[in-house]
Structure 1
Amino acid sequence: MNHYTLFPIIKRLEENSIVYSLGGSGLLYYLNLIDSINDWDITVECPKDKLIETLEGYDWVEQRSGDYPFASQYRLSIASLNIDFIGCFALHTENGVLNLPINHNRKWDGINISSPEVWYVAYYLMNRKPKASMLLNYLKTSTEKVNTTLINDLIKTNILNNELSQELSLLIR
């Protein structure tokens, strides 16, 4: 899959002032951690109705959302483009619901890219260990790129378990 296919969608999101970020396997591919992309996961911060209006003309479907460990408000998919939109990205933890910020400090040919810190936490909480390990190893070997403010904010939520909080703390020492 080629990220250029996202350009028309990204243009619509930006024209409608929808805050978004590309994560999931798109992020892993961008970071050169995997060789191919399963689908495009785009997290958005907007009401579902606004995203639906923005997707006018595309054949989209609403997917199930909110089943454990997922706590996002909604999920819409465009099968023809292999895109999943995740509205207000959030996951359940043993201590509550963690709202994951749409943090992007990188662009890939003009596309906002999610923070690896956010997706490390997400994959950890989804129990997707291989992907979480890939991102943790990336962060450990790219310490100059680690977003310490974001990590501190995630730890301060007091929603993460001790193991995850400790792993994140080690990245900022």
Structure 2
Amino acid sequence: MRTPPLDVVRALCAALQDRGVVVALGGSGLLAALGLVDQVRDWDLTTDADPDVVAEVLREAGWPFRDAAVRDGIYRTRERFVVAADNHEVDVLVGFAVVDDGRVVTFPTRVTGHWRGLPLADPDVWARAYRAIGRPGRAELLEKRQR
């Protein structure tokens, strides 16, 4: 399996959790953790915390980050912070949401397990998210695994 280094994403999760923030690994990291893909290009974390708290944790920890929220097209995520690591990025999606069939659909952060020291997001939530963003192949991987 090819993944970016785990040190930054683990430390980021720990820093957020130390502040009482529930955070979970989603995206291709979740798929890799479940054995459904063998490559991860970057890490995606979700949280439903206050965006100001997340930004404060990032600043206090000294990680270089930028606010990269996309608020056009289908995306309605409250905030997206991109943390720069050595040769990859960690996206922190705060209040992950998209427009699906004309309505805003939110994808709550739920921790359903752990992998290599990282809290894992709910595969059902990510299957729905992948369908909503037009990535049915990824959704099917998650759905088939549960049968």
TM-score, normalising length: structure 1 = 0.76
State yes or no: 1:128 paired with 2:135: yes
Within the candidate set 91, 94, 100, 2:101 is matched to 94
Equivalent positions of 1:94-113 (< 5 A) are: 94-113=101-120
Q: Give the number of the structure whose alpha-carbon radius of gyration is greater.
A: 1
Distance (whole Å) between structure 2 residues aligned to residue 69 and residue 2 of structure 1: 30
Other-structure match for 1:24:
27
Moved over 4 A (4+): none
2:10 aligned with 1:7: yes
The equivalent position to 2:79 in structure 1, one of 60, 68, 74, is: 74
| More relative contact order, 1 or 2 (CA 8 Å, 6+ apart) | 2
Shift of 1:64: 3.1
Aligned-partner Cα distance in 2 for 1:4–1:139 = 29
- 1:54 pairs with one of 34, 54, 57: 57
Report SS of the residue matched to 1:75: strand
RMSD: 1.4
**Counterpart-to-counterpart distance in 1, 2:144 and 2:75:** 24
Question: Which structure is higher in strand share?
Answer: 2
- List alignment gaps of at least 5 residues for structure 2: none
Task: Give the aligned residue type for 2:123.
Answer: P
Give the number of the structure whose residues are more often helix, by fraction: 1
**Distance between the aligned counterparts of 1:29 and 1:52, measured in 2?**
27
Cα deviation digits, residues 21-79 of structure 1 (max 9, x gap): 11000000001111110211100111221111101211101113222221110100012
**CA distance in 2 between partners of 1:96 and 1:11 (Å):** 34
State the percentage of identical aligned residues. 27
* Structure 1 residue 95: Cα displacement: 4.6
* Whole-angstrom distance in 1 between the partners of 2:34 and 2:80: 25
1:34 matched residue in structure 2: 37
Residues matched between the structures, number: 140
Query: Normalized against structure 2, the TM-score is what?
Result: 0.88
